[in-house]
Structure 1
Amino acid sequence: MTTRRDFLRKAGVAGAAVGTGALAAPYVKAQSPIRWRLQTYAGPALAEHVIKPAVDSFNKIAEGQMEIELYFADQLVPTGELFRAMQQGTIDAVQSDDDSMASPTDVRVFGGYFPFALRYSLDVPVLFNQYGLGEIWDQQYADVGVKWISAGAWDPCHFATKEPIRSLADLNGKRVFTFPTAGRFLSRFGVVPVTLPWEDIEVAVQTGELDGIAWSGITEDYTVGWADVTDYFLTNNISGAWIGHFFANMDRWNELPDNLKELLRVTFDSSHYYRQWWYWGGEAELRVRGEKMELTSIPDEEWAKVEEEAKAFWDEIAGDNATRQKVVQIIKDYNDVMRKAGRPYRYA
């Protein structure tokens, strides 16, 4: 029979063993933190809004278990080399659109501003979370050794120019800094797309190398300084929101414990949410109260030609590629639902 003394002695040994195991399991602050280098497409002024709050929040909550070092546009590698650098492990994570970072996937053309696919910023999370684009992107990037983490919306795409744009004819011959796929579409109307490093854009407008910019909405024009070198803002846009993503090197992602993976997802989602209200409010506020650029518009009946041309462009992009065909069909189905739903989803 077990005596009281034996019971206490054995219980004490067992308790000590459990205590030792419990103390060994959690992360201890004295350990070296996991360090990631994340490069964004954005320059310093814009990054203050589109990424830095999320990184600061992550680092604070991680409490030394992991730390993200943030780098701005072209700081470690040129934006066009972001994908390859992440895939090879030169950098650990990226915030960008597919198009700008030269993604080798079938979905590259849909990143950034895909012409007239979106009317509002909320269209982006709905398409990715309810209409299946998230699953497509996840598989596309897994196939090339990269972890797609999440997608979110940025601002709409408008022209900021030195000369006023009041008709489609005014676009002809204009040298414009824009995204690759958007430029391919706009060239149908005489626009000459120009590719330059992000930090060179302001000077290029001042020297006359560029006639304008179709890279953002009015909030970014003011934030990054482009409103100081352009005189006019065209209220017609070719997309209601930019589609951008967070990505990570697959090996580095797989090395993370589950709690840090979840923390990355949550803080990156907070970044998506921040942009929803920051851009939505900023676009309206600066159109009404901004004093740096004069607003111009192309008449609706003339702009309808551009919107109609986008449908032909979608089919051209889809081509005979099964993945792109699937994405284009989802975009068509989604917009059909939005039109049938009527106000406030679609007005026309």
Structure 2
Amino acid sequence: MDRRKFLRTASAASAGSLALAAPAIAQTTDKIQWRCTSSFPQSLDTIYGGATDLATYVREATDGAFDIQVFAAGEIVPGLQAADAVQNGTVEMCHTASYYYVGKSPTWALGGVIPFGLDQRGMNAWLYYGDGMNLLNTFYNKQGLQYLPAGNTGTQMGGWFRNEINSLADMNGLKMRIAGLAGRIMERIGVVPQQIAGGDIYPSLERGTIDAAEWIGPYDDEKLGFYQVAPYYYYPGWWEGNLTLCSFINKDAWDGLPPAYQSLLQTAARAANVEMMAEYDYKNPTALRSLAGKGAQLRAFPQDVLDASYEAGMALYDELASDPEWKTIYDSMMAFEVDHFLWTQVAESTYKNFMMDKQRNNLLPGQKTGGGN
């Protein structure tokens, strides 16, 4: 099935999406043109593609009546100013990561991911069924924005390091590109955090301005070439058990949309959310093998680094609890996290662990017929 055409009928909406009756769109004659600024360069087709997918679904479902033009980072505003451009009305919407704006308030991060938070499936469950979207929009509406999840990277890698990390002591004084609340936690274990846009990370590593950098995972990281200047590739990215990308829409522009277009935007955003995760899941395994063949050295973070980071994270969250807006959303998310990981370990993880053992021992059918190891 052509994925670009599935929004033409309600029956083709992704699982859990809002039902969209074709007549509602047919009866809406409003011609609307919006601009959407992305926080990402076009070269990162997966994460940038979340915005273009959403725009394509909307355009095709309305036969072009609702047209959203997507601009890469830097074409209208720098990538880390995308939400600001929506707030001040420069553009109607953006596609970004909400944790880029924790300088405004830590609560912004909760719409994307927080360290030691939910994984991708857990985040979607909380957003769509655990009142997460309503709670987040109660906050974001006060910022003049409407929030829609529109993509996910899944659990990320822990980043690229110029030198090997053997213990917590090796983190002390390390200059690392890392975004969101993770930077504040890293700071507590001795790291000097730097927030740098994706396109500027490689030259910073190459010049030695920074010692380490995290981005997303194998597919994007290979494109950015980090392995050439920082060979040690660490996992897991404990600060991003998922990353929910989002569309922020100017609240006045959102309120001015016909109801059918509001419904369509929500459906298209859910579809883009599913699409991005599937693309990363398909492309990352091949890219990881390719990186290993180019000399990338896979390493797990030492246990003392993980333990110290977790303790620092919990201490930070205790401090943030004094902010009622943070506390309301965080408490809801964390209450669900308990149940989510309880359920995950019963069936999901047991099955995955069994199958991963077979993979390690070259016993999967695909390995017997020449598939990858």
User: Given the two structures, how large is their TM-score scaled by the length of structure 1?
Assistant: 0.82
Q: Is it true that 1:333 corresponds to 2:309 in the alignment?
A: no
The amino acid that maps onto 2:313 is A
The alpha-carbon distance between structure 1 residues 301 and 210, as it changes in their structure 2 partners (threshold 3 A), is closer
Mapping for residues 120-135 of structure 1, pairs under 5 Å: 120-135=119-134
Mapping for residues 253-292 of structure 1, pairs under 5 Å: 253-290=254-291, 291-292=293-294
Aligned equivalents of 1:237, 1:334: Cα separation in 2: 21
Secondary structure (helix, strand or coil) at the match of 1:51 reads: helix
Asked whether the equivalents of residues 149 and 245 of structure 1 are also in contact (C-alpha less than 8 Å), the reply is: yes
Mapping for residues 232-311 of structure 1, pairs under 5 Å: 232-238=232-238, 239-290=240-291, 291-292=293-294, 293-300=296-303, 303-311=306-314
The amino acid that maps onto 1:234 is Y
Q: Is it true that 1:317 corresponds to 2:320 in the alignment?
A: yes
Shift in Å, 1:193: 0.8
Asked whether the equivalents of residues 92 and 250 of structure 2 are also in contact (C-alpha less than 8 Å), the reply is: yes
Cα deviation 1:39-77 (Å, max 9, x = unaligned)? 111111224533323322322332121211101123211
Asked whether the equivalents of residues 44 and 220 of structure 2 are also in contact (C-alpha less than 8 Å), the reply is: yes
Question: What is the aligned partner in structure 1 of residue 231 from structure 2?
Answer: 231
Cα deviation 1:198-243 (Å, max 9, x = unaligned)? 3222111111112121232223212344344431210222221113
Cα deviation 1:116-137 (Å, max 9, x = unaligned)? 112x311211121222221111
Question: What is the aligned partner in structure 2 of residue 143 from structure 1?
Answer: 142
The alpha-carbon distance between structure 1 residues 164 and 62, as it changes in their structure 2 partners (threshold 3 A), is farther
Question: What is the aligned partner in structure 2 of residue 98 from structure 1?
Answer: 98
Aligned equivalents of 1:300, 1:282: Cα separation in 2: 29
Mapping for residues 36-47 of structure 1, pairs under 5 Å: 36-47=34-45
Shift in Å, 1:332: 2.7
The amino acid that maps onto 2:252 is D
* Unmatched segments (≥5 aa) in structure 2: 1-25, 354-373
Asked whether the equivalents of residues 172 and 189 of structure 2 are also in contact (C-alpha less than 8 Å), the reply is: yes
Aligned equivalents of 1:302, 1:27: Cα separation in 2: 55
Cα deviation 1:258-302 (Å, max 9, x = unaligned)? 222222222221110012222234444433453332101134465
The alpha-carbon distance between structure 1 residues 336 and 196, as it changes in their structure 2 partners (threshold 3 A), is closer
More off after superposition, 228-237 vs 135-144: 228-237
Larger Rg, first or second structure (1 or 2): 1
The amino acid that maps onto 1:42 is F
The amino acid that maps onto 1:218 is P
Asked whether the equivalents of residues 86 and 249 of structure 1 are also in contact (C-alpha less than 8 Å), the reply is: yes
The alpha-carbon distance between structure 1 residues 123 and 43, as it changes in their structure 2 partners (threshold 3 A), is same
Aligned equivalents of 1:200, 1:339: Cα separation in 2: 36
Aligned equivalents of 1:73, 1:130: Cα separation in 2: 32
Question: What is the aligned partner in structure 2 of residue 203 from structure 1?
Answer: 203
Secondary structure (helix, strand or coil) at the match of 2:43 reads: helix
Secondary structure (helix, strand or coil) at the match of 1:45 reads: coil
Question: What is the aligned partner in structure 2 of residue 21 from structure 1?
Answer: none
Shift in Å, 1:152: 4.6
Aligned equivalents of 1:110, 1:149: Cα separation in 2: 13
The amino acid that maps onto 1:58 is V
Asked whether the equivalents of residues 168 and 304 of structure 2 are also in contact (C-alpha less than 8 Å), the reply is: no
Asked whether the equivalents of residues 174 and 212 of structure 2 are also in contact (C-alpha less than 8 Å), the reply is: yes
The amino acid that maps onto 1:246 is S
Aligned equivalents of 1:51, 1:332: Cα separation in 2: 29
* Unmatched segments (≥5 aa) in structure 1: 1-24
The alpha-carbon distance between structure 1 residues 251 and 326, as it changes in their structure 2 partners (threshold 3 A), is closer
Aligned equivalents of 1:92, 1:102: Cα separation in 2: 21
Question: What is the aligned partner in structure 1 of residue 68 from structure 2?
Answer: 68
The alpha-carbon distance between structure 1 residues 103 and 37, as it changes in their structure 2 partners (threshold 3 A), is farther
Question: What is the aligned partner in structure 2 of residue 18 from structure 1?
Answer: none
The alpha-carbon distance between structure 1 residues 170 and 91, as it changes in their structure 2 partners (threshold 3 A), is same
The amino acid that maps onto 1:272 is N
Aligned equivalents of 2:305, 2:87: Cα separation in 1: 44
More off after superposition, 282-291 vs 272-281: 282-291
Asked whether the equivalents of residues 159 and 214 of structure 2 are also in contact (C-alpha less than 8 Å), the reply is: yes
The amino acid that maps onto 1:304 is D
Secondary structure (helix, strand or coil) at the match of 2:148 reads: strand
Question: What is the aligned partner in structure 1 of residue 358 from structure 2?
Answer: none
Aligned equivalents of 1:104, 1:270: Cα separation in 2: 29
Shift in Å, 1:83: 2.5
User: Given the two structures, how large is their TM-score scaled by the length of structure 2?
Assistant: 0.77
